Amino acid sequence: MQQAKQSGYRDIKEVILGRVRDKTWPLGTELPGEVALAREFGCARATINRAMRELAEEGILDRKRKAGTTVKATPARHAKLSVPSVRAEVEATGASYRYSLISRNVEKAPDWLRARLSLGADQLVVHLRCMHYADSAPYQFEERWIVLDTVPGAETEGFEAIGPNDWLISEVPLTNIDLTFSAALAGPLYADFLDVAPESPVFQMNRTTWLDGAPVTFARMTHPGSYKLRSSL
């Protein structure tokens, strides 16, 4: 009589996690099969399945047909990084958000961009530069290129009142994103807009966006400060 209350898949996850933590099932061990565990916990196989499936998604277990379920030798840690609109990001801190367009041009995609987005020759992009402010303090400098073939609507949008990110979210939802972070020196351009010394470090985030394999946009966000995210499990 190990348990009185009937166990839900959450409880079962906890028990399994506990057994991994206390090394009842050390890293690399093979776990009992679903049927065996279902018997042990007195529940349906589907319940065990859900518990183990989620633990596998969370990077703690490895599951293979026929081979069975094992505890991952090197539990994959992963953080969930939310990629909100700048507006949401700023307003979440309680500050008021302000957006300002610096320049907007339609031009042929430069070579480095064509390479990065797998664009054909002579493809046109909208090239934007803009600033985001938090309580009238510089928050982020954004430089962005939008592929017109994928997002034709960008040709007639002036981006004077609405930021490109906010606009794109409603125009082209459900995209895939590549992110790169790096550190750089401010230099004269960023120093000017971000109100920092040219020789100070800035934090950059490069964001490439795809819609079903078609390139949508490339953006480089430059911060004077730092960036924060929190993992779940």
Partner DNA sequence: GAGTGGTCTAGACCACGGT
Partner DNA sequence: CCGTGGTCTAGACCACTCC
Residue 22 touching a copy of itself (CB under 8 A): no
**Interface stretch with a copy of itself, choices 3-11, 16-24, 33-41, 110-118 (CB under 8 A):** 16-24
Residue 191 touching a copy of itself (CB under 8 A): no
| 101, 77 contact by CB (below 8 A) | no
Say how far apart CA 142 and CA 205 lie, in whole Å.
10
Say how far apart CA 206 and CA 142 lie, in whole Å.
10
**Interface stretch with a copy of itself, choices 2-10, 83-91, 95-103, 137-145 (CB under 8 A):** 83-91
Residue 59 touching DNA (CB under 7 A): no
From residue 30 to residue 69, the character string flagging contacts with a copy of itself as x (rule: CB under 8 A) and all else as - is ------------------------------x---------
Determine the 3-state secondary structure of 205 from DSSP.
Answer: strand
Binder of DNA out of 55, 69, 99, 216 (CB under 7 A): 69
Residue 5 touching DNA (CB under 7 A): no
Which alpha helices (DSSP H) does 98-182 contain, by range? 111-117, 164-171
Neighbours of 219 (CB within 10 A): 19
| 163, 86 contact by CB (below 8 A) | yes
| Shortest distance in whole angstroms from residue 172 CB to a copy of itself | 8
| 28, 20 contact by CB (below 8 A) | no
Q: Which residues bind a copy of itself (CB under 8 A)?
A: 17, 20-21, 27, 60, 74-85, 88, 169-170, 173-185, 199-204, 223, 225-233
